[in-house]
Amino acid sequence: MRARLREEGGFGLIELLLAMLILNIGLLAVVAAFNSGIIAVQRASRVTTASVLADQQMERYREITYASIRLDATAATTADSESTYRADTARTYPTAQVTGTCAGVPNECNPSRTATGADKRQYRVDTYILEQTPTGGRTVKKVTVVVRDATTPARTYVRQASTFDQSTG
C-alpha cells in the first residue's frame, strides 16, 4: 500500500486542464442549444398570436355582406402615407383599393390598426382590399390581412388572403 502512495502516476496538470476544457466546450454547446430553442419558441409564439389576429380580422369580413367589404376612405388615405403600408406587395396592384364611408371606422374598415395579442404584445394589423376581375369571371374582392410587429413594422409575421364574390351576400 505504501509503495502505491509513493508512485507519481495519475493525472498531471496538463491532463486536468484538457479535461476541463473539453467539459466546458460540451457545456457551452448545450447552453447554446437551449438559447436557440428559447428564441425559436418565442418566434413561434409571436407567429401563432399573429395568426389568431389575422383570423379574427378575416372573420370580420366573412360576417358582413359583399357590399360592406371596404376600407374607410379617409383612413386608407392616411395609411397610404405610411411607407410600410404603401410598399406592401398586397398594395402594389394597378387597381385602387375598395374604399367608402364607414361610420366610426370599425375594425373591418380600418386599413391599419394596432392590436394587443393574447401574449400582451402589440401587433400591427394591415388590411388591403382590392377588386379584381378574373378572366371570364365576375368581379371579386381580394382581402389581404398582414400582421406585423408593432415596434418593427418591417417584420411580418403572417400574411393571409381570401377572395369574396357577390354570392357571399
* Cα 64 from Cα 51, distance rounded (Å): 21
How does the average pLDDT of the chain come out, rounded?
88
Dihedral, CA of residue 118, residue 156, residue 56 and residue 61, to nearest 10: 160
Are 160 and 145 in contact, with CB atoms under 8 Å apart?
Answer: yes
pLDDT (tens digit, 9 = 90+) per residue, 64-100?
Answer: 888 889 999 999 889 888 888 888 888 766 567 888 8
Predicted confidence (pLDDT) at residue 49 exceeds the cutoff of 90 = yes
pLDDT of residue 137: 81
pLDDT of residue 70: 92
Q: Decide: pTM greater than 0.75.
A: yes
- Span 2-16, average pLDDT: 72
Pairing of strands 156-164, 140-149: antiparallel
Percent helix, strand, coil in the chain, to 5, is 45, 25, 30
- Span 20-46, average pLDDT: 93
- Beta-bridge partners for 71: 99
pLDDT of residue 167: 77
- In sign, the C-alpha dihedral spanning 112, 75, 73, 86 is negative
Predicted confidence (pLDDT) at residue 53 exceeds the cutoff of 90 = yes
